[in-house]
Amino acid sequence: MIIELSDRQEYILNIVKENGPITGEHIADKLSLTRATLRPDLAILTMAGFLDARPRVGYFFTGKTGSQLLTEKVKKLTVQDYQSIPVVVNESHSVYDAVCTMFLEDVGTLFVVNNQAGLVGVLSRKDLLRASIGKQELEAMPVSIIMTRMPNIAVCKKDDLLIEVANKLIEKQIDALPVVKETENHQYEVIGRVTKTNMTKVLVDLSHDRMDG
């Protein structure tokens, strides 16, 4: 369970389970504590979703376990909560330029756009390495020759569920997805990126219970 409850919180939970609905006052009586002392514990239990409160009725047990609440939380996370800034290169840029951009911007995936800023391709580290072991002149080779191109690019939108993006990353065995927005001329504008690093951040935040909602 991610949310670690204190002994007193566990105790409160049991009181509510057995006696709910029960007012804060009555819980306090049973524990021989003041209502004020109890308030933070009740707030935590309610916010975490273990308890629910109804005015004039009191607290009652929601019946949800820690892992159910965790699942609910994860399923609420959307791309916009965790996305990073995208790094793009123009389709006319050379493979040499793309390698430099990848190092300078410190990213593992570049998105390739046309002159209208519409998404046309993706470049991964391996795409660039593959091109580099050939005999060709990297400065003369446009990225459009080696990139993975539309319509074979997996994309996501800012309101998509993060768990769906995580599934796509695993299914397609890729490191990143561009976050896109459809433009008036039916192209995709790249407004963000979601990578395996963002997913790792979700895990760390979960362990610290730092997610909102």
Which spans of this chain sit near ligand ADP (rule: CB under 6 A)? 108-109, 122, 124-127, 148, 152-154, 173-177
Angle at the Cα of 69 (from 64 to 71), degrees rounded to 5? 130
Minimum Å gap between C-beta 196 and ligand ADP is: 9
Q: Residue 197: in which H helix or E strand, if any?
A: helix 196-207
Nearer to ligand ADP (CB atom), residue 8 or residue 126: 126
For ligand ADP, the closer CB: 126 or 181: 126
- Extract the tokens encoding 51: 């308890």
Beta carbon nearer to ligand ADP, 22 or 180: 180
27 vs 128 by CB, closer to ligand ADP: 128
Residue nearest to ligand ADP (CB): 126
What whole-number distance in Å separates Cα of residue 35 and Cα of residue 97?
A: 66
In sequence order, the 6+-apart residues with CB closer than 8 A to the CB of 16 are 22, 27, 51, 59, 60, 61
* Min CB(158)–ligand ADP separation in Å: 16
Secondary structure letter of residue 187 according to DSSP:
-
Please identify, using beta-carbon distances, which residue of 42 and 102 lies nearer to ligand ADP: 102
* Distance, CA of 35 to CA of 67 (rounded, Å): 29
Q: How many residues does the chain have?
A: 213
Helix axes 162-171, 196-207, angle to 10 degrees: 130
Shortest approach of ligand ADP to residue 213 CB, angstroms?
Answer: 27
Smallest distance, ligand ADP to C-beta of residue 50, A: 39
**Minimum CB separation from ligand ADP for residue 23, in Å?**
53
157, 194 Cβ separation under 8 angstroms: no
Rounded distance between C-alpha atoms, residue 102 and residue 195, angstroms: 15
